[in-house]
Each structure stands twice: as structure tokens, then as C-alpha cells.
């Protein structure tokens, strides 16, 4: 599948992915010491929902558009507040006309001592991203293959932080690269938090990916799955997944509030499911 960000900005997958991302950043902020977020496949940072790409799919109607005016429980509302504030800051007039990508969401959440490294290979996207963060001393923008950053940019000098790996899945073998990249990165920086996004489309490939991570010898691997449709015979984009390595101890409890609240809003079919499962770690059943 081709998952170029511009075509899918603000869809259900972005909502789940960015809500989790915001919770990870908020956890890192609980300590005064500075941290760094590294975004390996950053895209352009801000997406115009009136653009040809966004209008072609209209996927944001089934994602962020449903969430912004939704009535949520006080618990879910509090957990989503940092993410939704970052989204709303992209369009101060309150209209759903723009959606911030992960670099901009993270930037809105950083404190003055924290840093962000954003990496993008596509030359035109890199230039847009560079212009977006021009003269922002807290953000470093690099034109580089994001897979290489999992070696060259780790560990960061801050020794605390998060690596987001959100590839476009344009080429064959992205799941293998994702698993191999995590192993390589974890070897260099075992104490970092890693968040790896993946699409739930080809069920056999997803199962093989999860098995590879379970057998990789990496402790504390959480798998978050959120499906809006039931499995079908033919491969289709039914859901979104995120692997979190070294998740905060608070995350599992938070997800059990967030995911059902989001699922009630975004699921398209009865029988679609969400789950939080440990692939490796102390919580894995015997």
C-alpha cells in the first residue's frame, strides 16, 4: 500500500497514532530533565485538508472531524486534551481545514529544554518541513533516509526520549525493515522509548511481524491494535497498529480508557476490535 501522509492526514489511524504519541510525550515531561524526540519519517508537518490529496480520499471525515466535537467521558477528555490542543492550534479559527503531522504535534508539546529531530528523505517534503521550522532552535531538520537514522542518530545526547518510526509503506518489505530497524536501534539505545506505526491490512504479514518482534529478544514490547472494520477475505485497510517498546508504566491503564472511547466514535462495523497486548515483557501470559 502507499501510505503517503498527505492522502490520509487526520484519518482514524492518525487519531489513534497521535493520541498515543501525545501520551508518550506527556509522560516524558513528568521529569524536569530534557529529552529528545526523533521522528524518522516526518512528512511535511502540516497538511491542508482542502488539498487535492486530502480531498481525493476524504479520510479525515472519519477521523479527526468526528473527534473534535465529540462528547467524551471526563477521563478520556483529560487524556486526549494535549493531543486535541495541538490539533486545534494548527487552525486557530476552529475550522477543520488543516491537520498537524507528528512533528508539529510533538513541537506543540515540548518544553523549552526539550528537543526534536525530524528526518525526511523526499527532497520536496524536506524543504517544506525545513521552512516550517525555520529559525526554531529546538528543532533539527535533516534530509536523510529515516532507516539510517535508527543507527546514526542514536543514542541522543539527552539520553532520554522517544523514537517515532512511521514509514509510508510504499515499498515491499517495510515490515521487515521495521523489525530489523528496531533491533538495530535497541542495540544502540536500549533505554529509549520506541513507537512504531504499522497498517493492519495484510493479516498474514502483520502476524509474521508481531511474531518476529516477540522473538527478537527485546523486553517490554507492547502491541496496540485498533480496527474499524472486521477482517475481510481481501486485504483492505481495516485498522492501525502501534508497537511501543519500553512503554511508560501508565500507558496500559490510559489506553484502556482512550481506546474504547475512540472506538465508539470511529469504528465503522460491529465486530471490529481493539486490543492492548504484550508481545514481550513481564505481563505476557505464561
With beta carbons less than 8 A apart as the criterion, state whether 151 and 165 touch: no
Residues 202, 237: Cα–Cα separation, whole Å:
8
Coil/strand/helix, residue 38: strand
DSSP E strands in 56-188: the ranges are: 98-100, 115-120, 139-143, 161-165
DSSP state of 268: -
How far, in whole angstroms, is CA 46 from its chain's centroid? 15
Of 39, 114, 166, 238, the active-site residue reads: 166
**Residue 114 annotated to the active site:** no
Counting Cβ atoms within 10 Å, is residue 217 exposed (0-12), middle (13-18) or buried (19+)? exposed
Comparing CA positions, the residue from 39, 80, 23, 28 lying closest to residue 197 is: 39
Name residue 116's beta-bridge partners.
37, 139
- Kindly state the helix (H) or strand (E) to which residue 263 belongs, with its residue range: helix 251-266
**Which residues are annotated as catalytic?**
166
Amino acid at each position: 500500500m502507499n501510505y503517503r501522509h498527505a492522502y490520509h492526514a487526520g484519518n482514524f489511524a492518525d487519531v489513534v497514532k497521535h493520541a498515543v504519541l501525545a501520551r508518550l510525550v506527556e509522560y516524558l515531561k513528568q521529569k524536569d530533565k530534557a529529552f529528545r524526540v526523533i521522528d524518522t519519517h516526518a512528512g511535511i508537518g502540516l497538511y491542508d485538508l482542502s488539498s487535492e490529496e486530502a480531498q481525493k480520499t476524504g479520510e479525515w471525515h472519519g477521523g479527526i472531524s468526528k473527534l473534535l466535537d465529540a462528547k467524551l467521558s471526563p477521563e478520556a477528555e483529560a487524556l486526549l486534551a494535549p493531543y486535541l490542543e495541538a490539533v486545534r492550534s494548527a487552525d486557530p479559527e476552529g475550522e477543520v481545514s488543516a491537520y498537524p503531522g507528528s512533528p508539529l504535534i510533538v513541537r506543540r508539546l515540548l518544553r523549552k529544554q526539550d528537543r526534536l529531530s525530524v528526518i525526511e528523505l523526499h527532497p520536496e517534503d524536506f524543504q517544506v518541513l525545513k521552512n516550517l521550522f525555520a529559525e526554531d532552535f529546538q528543532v533539527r531538520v535533516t534530509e536523510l533516509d529515516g532507516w539510517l537514522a535508527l543507527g546514526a542518530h542514536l543514542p541522543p545526547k539527552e539520553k532520554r526520549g522517544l523514537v517515532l518510526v512511521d514509514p509510508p509503506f510504499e515499498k515491499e518489505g517495510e515490515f521487515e525493515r521495521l523489525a530489523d530497524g528496531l533491533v538495530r536501534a535497541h542495540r544502540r539505545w536500549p533505554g529509549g522509548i520506541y513507537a512504531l506505526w504499522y497498517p493492519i491490512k495484510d493479516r498474514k504479514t502483520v502476524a509474521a511481524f508481531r511474531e518476529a518482534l516477540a522473538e527478537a529478544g527485546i523486553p517490554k514490547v507492547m502491541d496496540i491494535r485498533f480496527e474499524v472494520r472486521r477482517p475481510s477475505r481481501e486485504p483492505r485497510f481495516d485498522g492501525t497498529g502501534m508497537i511501543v517498546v519500553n512503554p511508560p508504566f501508565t500507558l496500559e491503564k490510559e489506553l484502556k480508557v482512550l481506546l474504547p472511547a475512540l472506538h465508539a466514535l470511529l469504528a465503522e462495523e460491529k465486530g471490529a476490535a481493539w486490543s492492548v497486548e504484550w508481545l514481550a515483557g513481564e505481563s505476557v501470559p505464561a
